[in-house]
């Protein structure tokens, strides 16, 4: 299959171009002679970017499919411009056995909508102590996480990092000291982040810090990065968007922080400390949200939110946003995508950057409707999404 994508404005982490993009069998290639078998795709002067990669989502499958499932989550991801996600393991049963892991991976592949990677739990069933299940971890696992829980026992985390390094796995960590978080969640995040930065540094264990939200935590990460620790980190759209006055109104874990924290996260994006933006897409039923369940869906509005907060505000360029929404997370997940150069997969998202729209509940593709952005005026509408050159989503 040969394709030429033309009449576009192409942006990746580095370039801005109006040149056509040539694709053969789902891979970007150097220009070739067009013949009768070549499909010409008119991009209608839209922005074409490498499709986004989300390193932190919850599709609730298996066990909680009344909130979301692999199919609805994948379709929600496509509507937000994503073709790759990393699923967290707090399902029922948890992803602590090869059987559960392989079932999720196979069903995701069978859907043929997006690329799905699945974490394995650090401790068996999130019990905070058992690591023996990692001895039978499937070879295709890339990341381990007890997301929703910090590993509170210092010795267990020390041994877990040694085991992860030996197995070639990367930790992706939810940082929260139990008990302390009920009293002071800022200290709870900072303290565990400092411990795990130090462990990662001393043990040389690749470690990724999830949904970093405080000035203290991101400053510790910056310090240990400069020492040479093999660490990376992500922030969320909602921690970049909200602060102070919304703190009591929005139930999420980690919570909405101060304006000083928010501005620090943005400055750390500008200085290159932040590696990725991830959504922590967390579907819940209305009844659960009414009872205070933490989190909300966000994969469908992540680009528009970040485009407004970071690019239209003048904080960073669109190229820099693509770097932390596409290029860097693709590299961290070891995917051959995230750049618009020959040899990379033709995963493209077409965006109308000038389209201003009010987001409504009727726009939501996810099975759950617990979005923070309902009623908000956003910019940058996702119009089409291609995976390896095949149209997977179109917004009419």
CB 120 within 8 A of CB 144: yes
Q: Is the peptide bond before 254 cis (omega within 30 degrees of 0)?
A: yes
Which among 284, 365, 368 has a CA at the least distance from the CA of 78? 365
CB 121 within 8 A of CB 146: yes
Enter the DSSP assignment of 312: I
Provide the 3-class DSSP secondary structure of residue 2: strand
DSSP secondary structure, 128-147, as one string: SS--GGGGG--TT--EE--T
Three-state secondary-structure class, residue 224: helix
Q: What is the rounded distance in angstroms from the CA atom of residue 299 to the CA atom of residue 371? A: 10
Tokens for 59, please give them: 């599709």
Contact status, residue 117 vs residue 143, Cβ threshold 8 Å: yes
CA distance 278 to 329: 9
Residues annotated as catalytic are 280
How many CB atoms are closer than 10 A to CB 30?
9
CA nearest neighbour of 141 among 108, 207, 194, 95: 95
Could you give the 3-state DSSP secondary structure of residue 267?
Answer: helix
């Amino acid at each position: 299959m040969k394709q030429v994508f033309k009449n576009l404005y192409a942006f990746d982490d580095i370039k801005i171009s109006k040149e056509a993009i040539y694709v053969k069998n789902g891979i970007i290639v150097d220009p070739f002679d067009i013949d009768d078998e070549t499909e010409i795709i008119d991009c209608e002067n839209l922005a074409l970017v490498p499709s986004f990669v989300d390193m932190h989502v919850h599709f609730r499958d298996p066990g909680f499919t009344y909130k979301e499932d692999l199919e609805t989550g994948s379709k929600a991801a496509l509507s937000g411009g994503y073709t790759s996600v990393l699923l967290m393991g707090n399902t029922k049963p948890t992803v602590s056995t090869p059987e559960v892991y392989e079932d999720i991976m196979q069903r995701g592949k069978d859907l043929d909508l997006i690329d799905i990677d699945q974490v394995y739990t650090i401790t068996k069933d999130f019990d905070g102590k058992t690591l023996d299940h990692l001895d039978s971890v499937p070879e295709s696992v890339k990341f381990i996480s007890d997301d929703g829980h910090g590993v509170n026992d210092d010795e267990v985390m020390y041994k877990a990092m040694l085991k992860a390094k030996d197995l070639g796995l990367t930790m992706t960590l939810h940082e929260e000291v139990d008990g302390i978080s009920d009293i002071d969640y800022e200290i709870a995040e900072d303290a565990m982040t400092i411990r795990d930065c130090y462990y990662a540094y001393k043990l040389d264990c690749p470690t990724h810090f999830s949904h970093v939200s405080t000035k203290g935590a991101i400053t510790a990460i910056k310090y240990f990065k400069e020492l040479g620790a093999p660490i990376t980190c992500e922030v969320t759209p909602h921690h970049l968007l909200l602060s102070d006055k919304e703190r009591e109104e929005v139930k999420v874990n980690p919570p909405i922080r101060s304006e000083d924290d928010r501005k620090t996260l943005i400055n750390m994006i500008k200085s290159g400390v932040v590696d990725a933006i991830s959504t922590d897409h967390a579907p819940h039923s209305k009844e659960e949200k009414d009872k205070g369940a933490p989190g909300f869906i966000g994969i469908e509005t992540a680009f528009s939110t970040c485009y407004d907060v970071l690019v239209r505000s003048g904080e960073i360029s669109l190229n820099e946003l693509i770097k932390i929404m596409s290029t860097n997370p693709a590299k961290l997940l070891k995917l051959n995508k995230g750049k618009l150069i020959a040899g990379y997969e033709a995963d493209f998202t077409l965006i109308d950057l000038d389209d201003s729209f009010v987001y409504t509940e009727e726009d939501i593709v996810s099975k759950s409707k617990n979005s923070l952005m309902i009623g908000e005026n956003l910019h940058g509408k996702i119009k089409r999404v291609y995976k390896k050159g095949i149209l997977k989503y179109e917004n009419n």
